[in-house]
């Protein structure tokens, strides 16, 4: 569901098309749960009847980034695994910790072990 919202807001009908096989009541329940968790926000695009569009919050976009990393890590075990690649040049991407104050990459020796998992 989070992946379906990566490209921007979607209406309920668009989500049902993007997520084939999910029952409308299940989709509604998941959207409500994600909204309560602060991952998704809804905004009305029609008043009568009320119709909503759904979009990721900043926390939702952070979660999507973490899910991409996990999916990439999990796929590396397969023989046909293809890493995430930079769209511009095609180079395989690497995830790194970055300090915006120092404008430098941070490795595990520069941070407490229990803080970098």
pLDDT tens for 13-57 read 999 999 989 999 999 999 999 999 999 999 998 888 989 999 999
pLDDT at 30: 95
Say if CB 27 and CB 17 are below 8 A apart: no
3-state secondary structure (DSSP) of residue 21: coil
CA 54-3-6 angle, to 5 degrees, is: 60
- The chain-wide mean pLDDT, for the chain, equals 85
pLDDT at 112: 60
The sign one gets for the Cα dihedral 65, 41, 30, 20 is negative
Residue 33 gets which letter from DSSP? H
Statement: residue 117 has pLDDT above 50: no
pLDDT at 68: 80
pTM of the model: 0.67
Residue 85 gets which letter from DSSP? B
């Amino acid at each position: 569901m989070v992946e379906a919202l990566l490209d921007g807001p979607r209406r309920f009908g668009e989500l049902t098309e993007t997520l084939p096989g999910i029952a409308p009541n299940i989709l509604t329940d998941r959207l409500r749960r994600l909204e309560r968790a602060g991952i998704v926000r809804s905004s009305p695009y029609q008043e009568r009847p009320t119709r909503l569009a759904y979009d990721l919050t900043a926390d939702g976009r952070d979660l999507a980034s973490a899910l991409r990393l996990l999916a990439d890590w999990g796929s590396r075990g397969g023989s046909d695994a293809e890493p995430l690649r930079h769209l511009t040049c095609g180079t395989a991407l690497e995830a790194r910790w970055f300090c915006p104050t120092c404008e430098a990459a941070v490795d595990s020796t520069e941070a407490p072990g229990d803080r970098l998992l």
